[in-house]
Amino acid sequence: MKILNNVKRSNAVRFGLCLAASVIWCRQARAEVELVDKDGWTFSFDGRINAFLSGGFGDDFPKPTTDPNSPMTPTHFVMGGDGDPLTPATGSPGTGRANVGWPQNYGQSDTSNKYLAIRVRSGMYGNVMGFGVGRKVSDDLTIKGYISIWSTVESLGYDKWAPINAEAREGYFNVVGPWGTATVGRTLGWIGRMSWEIDTLYGHGYGVGLPCTDALGPACGHIGTGALFPGYGANISYATPSIGGLVLHAGLFDPVVFGTTASDWSHASIARPEGALSFDRPLGGTARIKVEVEGLYQPISRIGADAAGNPSKITDAVWGASGGARVEAGPLRVGLSGFTGKGLGLFYALQRSSAIEDQAPNKRELRMFTGFYGQGAVVFGRFQVGGGFGLSVVNQTAFDKIDTSQSTIHYQRGISAAAYYHATDSIVLGLDYFMFAAGWYGAPLAGGGKLAGETQVLNFVNAGMTYHW
């Protein structure tokens, strides 16, 4: 039992920190402090610390809609909740891993299935400490290595005893020359980057937004509600030199599987290609535009059975496309993004969750995911105020429409507002509000028709401070 609890804690930290980190923030919102510059070598560091008072209220995870023909007997489970056969492995309140919807942790709901809690949480980013070592080899060739350590302020699952496990979320080196940039190590993926960048810069880079789970931070911002987090992975990547602001990014990433048994999608034999095409340049003296398209493709397979019942290899592929644009003109900031793909997930790309595949015997069809997100902000002096809207939708498979045992997730929606005050160059005060809503399709009935779909609505108000350098 002790080993199992440690594994759960480790998994929770990995997921929370995965959603907390971002190369985008590291490159655009940090200012590295150079400690040493000697004989062509430089040593620098950067980081941040934050904490927020976070109050949440609204609906707890919904109970199954009652069948009027058998009101005393539950006929199905709600995907992501009690009874879901995948929940213990892929996400439940006590593990700190997001699945679908938003379950409270360890009995924080009342007799009316309502949630109310005030916590001290990490923001969209947790505590971060990064270190870089670089060297200018020649006038046009530079090498740099970077590693960053991430942690949270809150313990897992309301348990003060649970240790705070820091993690090396990033670790890579790159070589920059006139021919472009080569990167080797662990960095952020590509699909969903534009949505995460928009959320970071104009939405929740100094706030909370949606807590990813009730058990553990850091938070999600708009991730899971229209924005898709790229996630981290080992990779070898290349970026072309900028041609008038146009850059092509391409990489091979360590593959990801969705299951641990041969009958599930547990086999991925080749590295996953991911990439993006971006255009980023200033417009005049006070404006800027950035446009980006992103994609990934990963073949997967599993062991099934043919018509005669003999073992047979079944193949499929996860694919996704995303992109968006952001514009800055004077005090105005506007960003729009979207994504679509097969087997992508709701919160981060290639997420293991109940939403990824149906439970059709010998088929396990991957579901389609689509999302869009818009964020605006106005900057005047040291103040920034803004708001956003995002929606993620999951398509049903043919089996979902006849599977009387479950109600499949349909959508997750987020509406946000935030205000930030840069008290100094290093201290930011933040206040933000987030409304989270989720809806399920409703369970099909054996005799035809279906039950009404379950819904959930939660509100979060977050106030806190960030110190960054």
For residue range 70-100, list pLDDT tens digits in order.
777 778 999 998 777 776 556 566 778 889 9
Give the three-state DSSP class for 124.
coil
| Phi (first) and psi of residue 185, to 5 degrees | 140, -145
The domain total for the chain is: 1
Q: How confident is the model at residue 340 (pLDDT cuts 50, 70, 90)?
A: very high
Nearest to 354 by CA among 291, 309, 285, 403: 403
For residue range 174-203, list pLDDT tens digits in order.
999 999 999 999 999 999 999 999 999 999
Q: Domain with 87 in it: what CATH number?
A: 2.40.160.10
Report the C-alpha gap between 322 and 418 in whole angstroms: 25
Give the three-state DSSP class for 452.
coil
Domain hosting 31: range is 2-468
Strand partners, 186: 171, 234
Q: How confident is the model at residue 209 (pLDDT cuts 50, 70, 90)?
A: very high
pLDDT of residue 204: 98
**Is residue 370 predicted with pLDDT exceeding 60?**
yes
pLDDT of residue 323: 97
Burial (0-12, 13-18, 19+ Cβ within 10 Å), 330? exposed
- Whose tokens are 């003296």? That residue is 285
pLDDT of residue 289: 97
Instruction: Provide the strand spans (E) within 381-426.
Output: 383-394, 406-407, 409-422
For residue range 272-318, list pLDDT tens digits in order.
999 999 999 999 888 999 999 999 999 999 998 877 778 889 999 99
- Whose tokens are 């106030």? That residue is 463
